[in-house]
């Protein structure tokens, strides 16, 4: 059977694959894709052998530095980045959870200063699987299933 793409192939740019379906819009938020003028296409609830269902995002004519894209590991730890040039996949990268996370995630502690005042959050990752992040300000731990994007 001929292989068919659910979301059209792109000529040049980045394909972010293997995103958990629940994380699709969090990834959009983290990467601020709503502010891009590039062509962005995405699909959700696509069949995946490894994950059951998955989401995928394709960004035309845009490439990402590790630092910029590693932030999505907080919500899409198995995401794969494919660099596309002239329709070919020329590079595949996995995302890595950074050691420190600035902004992006809310501190789970309602009494934390970052929830009361206009102070950007700052966390140290103390465990990767599942994610446990320690707030620099209140020292409380935010766990993976509590992660809310700011």
Neighbours of 43 (CB within 10 A): 17
Is omega for the bond preceding 70 within 30 degrees of 0, making it cis? no
Binding ligand CTP by CB under 6 A: which of 70, 82, 114, 121? Answer: 82
Asked if 9 and 87 count as a contact pair (C-beta separation under 8 A), the reply is: yes
Indicate whether 101 belongs to the interface with Zn ion (CB under 5 A).
no
- DSSP code of 20? -
Indicate whether 136 belongs to the interface with Zn ion (CB under 5 A).
no
Indicate whether 17 belongs to the interface with ligand CTP (CB under 6 A).
yes
Q: Give Cα separations from 17 to 53, 99, 117 (angstroms).
A: 11, 23, 36
Q: Show the binding pattern over residues 96-135: x = contacts ligand CTP (CB under 6 A), - = does not.
A: ----------------------------------------
List contacts with ligand CTP (CB under 6 A): 5, 9-10, 15, 17, 56, 58, 80, 82, 84, 87, 89, 92
């Amino acid at each position: 059977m001929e292989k068919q793409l659910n979301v059209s192939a792109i000529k040049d740019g980045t394909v972010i694959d293997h995103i958990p379906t629940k994380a699709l819009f969090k990834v959009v938020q983290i990467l601020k894709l709503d502010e891009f003028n590039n062509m962005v296409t995405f699909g959700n609830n696509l069949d995946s052998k490894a994950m059951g269902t998955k989401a995928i995002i394709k960004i035309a004519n845009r490439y990402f530095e590790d630092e910029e894209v590693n932030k999505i590991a907080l919500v899409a730890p198995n995401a794969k980045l494919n660099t596309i040039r002239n329709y070919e996949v020329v590079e595949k990268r996995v995302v890595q959870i950074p050691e420190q996370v600035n902004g992006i995630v809310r501190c789970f502690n309602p009494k934390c200063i970052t929830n009361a005042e206009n102070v950007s959050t700052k966390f140290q990752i103390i465990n990767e699987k599942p994610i446990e992040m320690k707030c620099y300000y209140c020292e409380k731990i935010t766990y993976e299933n509590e992660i809310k994007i700011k």
